[in-house]
Structure 1
């Protein structure tokens, strides 16, 4: 599920509050401690709330190891609650995250549905978790969250922007070592990021992150391969209190394996199968119950001279109502780190080729479906959905110990001019019959990130969308987006 359309509201004091929170972080920098950041995977967006590998906090919180606090120094104000000893081999850990995200955008949906409608909203995300380790191989993890959209009438705010209070994660985990292989089983609601998160991620840009109700088994060999197998459903999000129940009609299952091929990170290989059944899927010419099977592979690696690369290839089969499904997708990225004094600078390019349907109403659907995509992949403004498109995305990134900067421009074309232009979460934005143009848009973005210390981070981004003929002939116009998000993690 993607972000809903927001209604017209006027900017007010909430704008000042969001900007003031950013100034607090800049003031904190004067006394802040430097936390080095590590580079991201070449096809993971660098902007966002993700933390570096040198931080004790992870984007998915249950992956943190708080047992290190058992005998280590406690030099942080939050350390006393990170390891509460219960009995030998058992402990309890607490944590949380609070984020304020201000967004201002004109021309929602590129102005096609609502004209020059302007949205100004302050999104508040509040997460608290408890991690109970009953023994070395048994734990219970639980997380609750409150998500609020300030600046939108309550009657119009809905998930994933707003959700009063709900269980975002709760699962039981059991693990054991057998013959050098670690076996981990999890049952319950949990976040899951597969590979580089291109097709299955946590949807961190929105207020409510993506979670799944799963039975999941992980087999892994330290420093070697990893295999995930899972089956479950996608929770249905509702606005109220503790009412996000499993949706038995929206099912998700699959297997994802990561294999090292060459040493020293020169070449790795992911192979995967992902299946999903949706009760109501919609494309340009067909709508109804869909079962889709995705088969894919991903290669990735990095060289000694600073080149990182990744490539994806996917094929989809299945059915939707009476139509058969046959779709395909290719994606890739290259990052080059400059040598010597310019080492903080990286030059990159990403690209996709994702199939559309060039023969409507022929009994076969060939529109690619990206499952649970990272919607901030192109920028913090998800204007164009990753289906029926070609895109090229050159980038420049500068990474310092505390500060980061990224500039990029994404060019979009329709892969099949008979098919629609799609907007998140996969809805038809411009029908294929409204235009014969292939060029969709150019989207430019500038973003900065600042990490004061292990707890505080601040991000800001400006994005402008220059519409192409495929948008303007459908009634669309240009878009300006400005966003800031301030995060405190503990």
Structure 2
């Protein structure tokens, strides 16, 4: 009996690996290719029937695109993530020191139900818990049980083109996540109450949406739609063989926005574009991802005039062992030149990715100038190493430095120093088996003159270890 159980265990593990090999897991799980996963199940069943004379049908992928009736199909899946963090002198000495570090766990399960080719319902429940943070869990640390996605969708037949409409609780992510992102890094992901319409035609996809962010609360089924913030937007993407383009127009209404100038009603629009792609010839490969935006509107009685530019350009040596990639990221976001005048110059990135500049997540994308050289290479087919240096300055010396959540990290005070910090980091990603991944990151952050002059002068060290399984 023990040998049979062992054989069944090995068979199950092999099925899981085969299933996940075609899983095509996406950052937003409702974008997964369930039909490709189902095809993996069918292939495994045929192979098992040929070898053993019976059909297995018990692999993970066999719960994808599973027929319930003639017109009804069901897909099930989920995520598990475990993460350990330890920060020495968190937030450069401003936060309480954790004794033994922080343990975090995030789990989610989802069900995707499709009626014929037009109707769909998607439900995803997530649970996030945290232990060990000296100051207690933050709003992005803990949410016992709440839906991250709970929507209905209708779409026309999506051949060469079509239209669709999705309404309900849903995660939103566009482009590189510099403006709207599901916030994968923190323990609690970001969701919206939203209505989203989309259309595709050839190389084009256009999305129009109106949304309000969900307010994360630590209990169960207690998250609620924000009553102070509303986001509307139009986002278009044209996919090309070498170069692709995004263009977008966004409008944020925030009844209680907070800057160095104070607290007021903010009505801000943002016009942006992104150009991205890659080109390969022989043993070399260039890639690029450049994005810029201009912003205007009103903050109380003040005019808004803000802008940003972010570039990521890389070169991969495909003919060299390990396929090293050398990259250079240059980014700048405007700050406010005078907190006492009738103009606000601080960029508002809206809802960007949580760990915008790195896993230590101390600095946010407002009022900054950043130079970020990076190197990555594979030491084994499943193991990649990443090394980088981040150099941060303030764009405006009259404005402060902001945290990733948009709150003011350090006010300018009397300091006119521009340099904020230098952060060195080294990371490793290991794809242990299909469906499994793990990461390790160590970082060292040396505060610059501005942080030291405003009372955040301790050297920050950071370690994180994580493992994730998707099924």
TM-score, L = length of structure 2: 0.88
Q: Which residue of 1 aligns with 2:136?
A: 156
Q: Which residue of 2 aligns with 1:9?
A: none
TM alignment of 1:440-479, pairs within 5 A: 440-476=420-456, 477-479=458-460
Q: Which residue of 2 aligns with 1:104?
A: 86
Q: Which residue of 1 aligns with 2:153?
A: 173
Q: For residues 122 and 188 of structure 1, do their structure 2 counterparts lie closer, same or farther at Cα, with a shift above 3 Å needed?
A: same
Q: Which residue of 1 aligns with 2:74?
A: 92
Q: Which residue of 1 aligns with 2:25?
A: 57
Choose 1 or 2 for highest CA Rg.
2
Task: State how many pairs are aligned.
Answer: 440
Q: Which residue of 2 aligns with 1:45?
A: none
CA distance in 1, matches of 2:362, 2:335: 18
RMSD after superposition: 2.4
Q: For residues 377 and 34 of structure 1, do their structure 2 counterparts lie closer, same or farther at Cα, with a shift above 3 Å needed?
A: farther
The answer as to whether partners of 1:34 and 1:452 remain within 8 angstroms in 2 is no
Q: Which residue of 2 aligns with 1:437?
A: 417
1:108: how far off?
A: 2.1
TM-score, L = length of structure 1: 0.85
The answer as to whether partners of 2:163 and 2:200 remain within 8 angstroms in 1 is yes
**Structure 1 residue runs without a partner (length 5+):** 1-27, 37-51
Q: Which residue of 2 aligns with 1:134?
A: 115
1:116: how far off?
A: 5.7
The answer as to whether partners of 1:74 and 1:80 remain within 8 angstroms in 2 is no
| Moved >4 Å (runs of 4+) | 31-36, 52-55, 115-119
Q: For residues 119 and 258 of structure 1, do their structure 2 counterparts lie closer, same or farther at Cα, with a shift above 3 Å needed?
A: farther
CA offsets, 1:11-51, max 9 Å, x none? xxxxxxxxxxxxxxxxx9xx999999xxxxxxxxxxxxxxx
1:236: how far off?
A: 1.5
CA offsets, 1:72-93, max 9 Å, x none? 3247731232233112232111
CA distance in 2, matches of 1:147, 1:385: 23
Q: Whose relative contact order is higher, 1 or 2, with alpha carbons under 8 Å and at least 6 apart?
A: 1
CA offsets, 1:140-173, max 9 Å, x none? 00001111012247x9324310111111110001
CA distance in 2, matches of 1:256, 1:184: 15
| 1:300 paired to 2:276 | yes
The answer as to whether partners of 1:225 and 1:259 remain within 8 angstroms in 2 is yes
CA distance in 1, matches of 2:237, 2:354: 23
The answer as to whether partners of 2:23 and 2:34 remain within 8 angstroms in 1 is no
CA distance in 2, matches of 1:387, 1:359: 15
The answer as to whether partners of 1:456 and 1:487 remain within 8 angstroms in 2 is yes
CA offsets, 1:380-417, max 9 Å, x none? 11111111010010000114531111000010000001
The alignment partner of 2:272 has SS state of strand
CA distance in 1, matches of 2:333, 2:100: 30
| 1:144 paired to 2:131 | no
Q: Which residue of 2 aligns with 1:240?
A: 219
Q: Which residue of 1 aligns with 2:405?
A: 425
